[in-house]
Each structure stands twice: as C-alpha cells, then as structure tokens.
Structure 1
C-alpha cells in the first residue's frame, strides 16, 4: 500500500514538472539553458565543487519557476478578475525567479570563464580594466540600486523620478565596455548603440524622466565603480 502511494507521489510530481515545462515558456528556456550548461560541463575539466555549484544553481532556478507557476495557478483558481493583491503575488513570485536567474548567470560566467576565456579578445589586451568578476558585481549593484531608487520614489509618490531599469542597466554595461576597452572605434559604436536605445525608449515612453535618470544612474555607477576597483 505504502509503495503504491510512494509511486503515485512520484508520478504526480512528474506531472507537475511536465505541466510547467509544457505551459511555461520561461521553464522551457531554463531547461534549454540547463542542458547547454550540463553539456558544457561534460566537455570542460571542471572540479567536483564547480559541478556541484552548477547543479545547485540550476535546481534553484527551476524550483523558483515551479513555485512561480504554482502561485499563478492558485491565484487564477481563486479569482479571474483583476485584483491588486493578486498582481502583487504574481509579481513577487516572478521577481524571485528573476533574482535566481540573475544569480545563475553570474555563477555560470564565474565557473566557465577560467576555462573558456570568452572575454579575452585582443580588444582587451593592455586595457586598464580587463574583464573580471568585478564587472558582474558592478552590474548587480546597479540593478539593486536602481530597484531601490524606484521603490523609494514610488513610496513618496514621485513616479516621474523612478529611473528606468532597462536604460540604467544598458547604460551601465555600455559605460563599462567603454572604460574597459579604451578603443576609440569601439567607444563610438557603443555610444551609437546606446543613443539608438535611448532614442527608441524616449519615443515610446510618455514619461521621459525615468529614461534619462536611468541612463545617468547607469553611467555614474559604472564610472564610480571602476574607480573603486
């Protein structure tokens, strides 16, 4: 009797995994990324500790997506109408997935970088700030700082002063590349791409201040961050 119940519990758990994989696009993306990472780990001479870290990180992202799907299913079961608290619950669950996914990217780059040396192009030879894990920490700092400022301005009712997360991250990454490379042509190309992004955002956004403030914040974080490195 207990064996049949145990097998049934495993079957139900697999049904839950299958449902999430079939119905959630993000879960399919997570699975494809996990497969790529695992295949790469088979090819590279990773240590036991590095492989375990990758396993834990992959499982953390998948578990977060499962919890997010469960929260959405419960909310949709309770109400089909828009409710502010239902939106909060869904947004918070999605935020947990976002944080786990961001951490997974940082962990993946940190583990694979010494083996792949993907960023060691000739462009960075002799650069004053060669790429390292500090860049990931700088981008993560910019993300949390922008999010904190958005919440503070929202709390005091100054919605026009909430910096745009997209332009903040894009400007931080662009400024970081300019500082690291120190090449005139690359600098001009990065500035052109950033200007195109900002121009597009300004055209589609009714509120201009968030876009401008996000760009300023991203550049300031990159400049100050590299000075502290």
Structure 2
C-alpha cells in the first residue's frame, strides 16, 4: 500500500466562493494520481483520507447526475441534523456558484472537488490506460470516478464496485454508473477499506472460474 500526501499545507478554496482548485492545481493532482500507479500492478484499489470530502462528493454527484442538494448530501462521519442542514446548504451554494460549468465533468471536478478526488480520478484513468482492473471504494471514490465516466463513456469499463456504503447517495451514484456492488456491509470508513474487503471475493471468483474442474475432468457420472 502506498500513501500519497497532496499539498496538505494548502487547503483547497471554499467552493461556495470560488473554484476549489485552479487549473494548475487540478492538473497537478490528476498527475499525482496518474504517476502513483505502478505499471506492473495487476489490481488497483484507491482510497482517501480527508476532512469534509463527503461534501465535495455530494456536490460532484449532484452536478453530474442532477437533482437537489438534499438528494445527495448525507451525514458523512455522523453529523447531527444541524450539521446535515449546513452541509446541504453548502452543497446547494456550491452548485449555484458554479452553475456555468455543470455540463463539463472535469470542470465539475476542478470547481467542486478536492485534490484527493482528482488524484483518484487520475489513478483510475492511468489504470485504464495500462489495462489494470480497479475496485472502486466508497462514495468519495465513486464520485471521483464518475467524473471520468461522464466525460468519456466507457472510461470505467475496467472498474467494479467493491461495496455500497452507508452513505445513502453512494448507491445512487453506483446505479447511475451501472455498477452493482459486490458487498453491502453498511461501512462508512472509506480509506479503501470496503474495496480491500472485496478483493477476496474477486480472487475467489477468479479461482472458481479458472481452476474448477468440469464434470468430465472431475469424473462426475452423467447418470
């Protein structure tokens, strides 16, 4: 497992006031993810650690798929009703502030996302280029990935959804992407944990598909 710090001393801008990242900043984050992928890898699982990034993910999902802010904004790490109301208002304000770019998925990523979301998008794109399969993690990872699919149809054909998290909007994102989650365990930790659990499921499926004997090979009687 590799951990990549992304300009921790320079927070992204308040997206209710300005674009979260400049063009140079989003390109740098995309490249950080792109360059983090080992060309010799046979599988990529992306995860993130961040504060407030379910808010960014909700704003991105609403921008990409439409609907009101409250349809996409959830409790994240467990905010109370007042906190949820603030999150929802922030998402709505961000969508209104950047309404002129909502038809451009990569501009949505720049204006409403964070460096960690852009880096995951870059890593997923590089994996596509290298023909490396990807297991998507939770809501934040899936929102980042969605910017690629909405920009170029088929951009996520190398991806499977590792799980559906407890964040209600995650299932809606996966449905819009046409991804059926492998696991549904009400997890909300992030950090790649749900996708990592799904590795065992996929390894078992591959082993059964490629290693199980046919009836003839196993000597099973037709009778």
TM-score, normalization by structure 2: 0.24
Q: What is the TM-score with the length of structure 1 in the denominator? A: 0.24
Structure possessing the higher relative contact order (Cα contacts under 8 Å, 6 or more residues apart)? 2
| Larger Rg over CA atoms | 1
